[in-house]
Amino acid sequence: MPSSKNLTLLGFAAKALKLDYGMQKSIEALKKNRSKLIVTACDLSEKSKKEILFYTTKQNIRLVTSDVTIEKLSTEVGRKCGVISVNDNGFADAIFNNQEANSNANDQ
């Protein structure tokens, strides 16, 4: 996830109260069908990566791994966390589409 635009979008989503923070709250949002997208920090533990991948696959929810650390991600959203559930279609689509656009640009 390119850091600047998506971090800004996450900051706006945080202010709009459209996020759940941390592994447990994100899994809860997935189970309750609130989550539209999961964002993880690049330095998330392997165990946590496997766990969140399991739930996103099970619920058929998109997963974006950012290129920023837990510390930087936490600073942007105002809470210490390595996993964030985006619970709004507009923010989720914007973050995911920005990720895809930048991934395709990097491939060229």
pLDDT in tens, 45-92: 999 999 999 999 999 999 999 889 999 999 888 899 999 999 999 999
Domains in the chain: boundaries: 3-107
Report the predicted TM-score, pTM, of the whole model to 2 decimal places.
Answer: 0.91
Strands 83-86, 37-40: pairing kind: antiparallel
pLDDT (0 to 100) of residue 76: 85
Q: What whole-number distance in Å separates Cα of residue 82 and Cα of residue 32?
A: 20
First to last CA, the chain: 17
CATH class of the structural domain 3-107: alpha beta
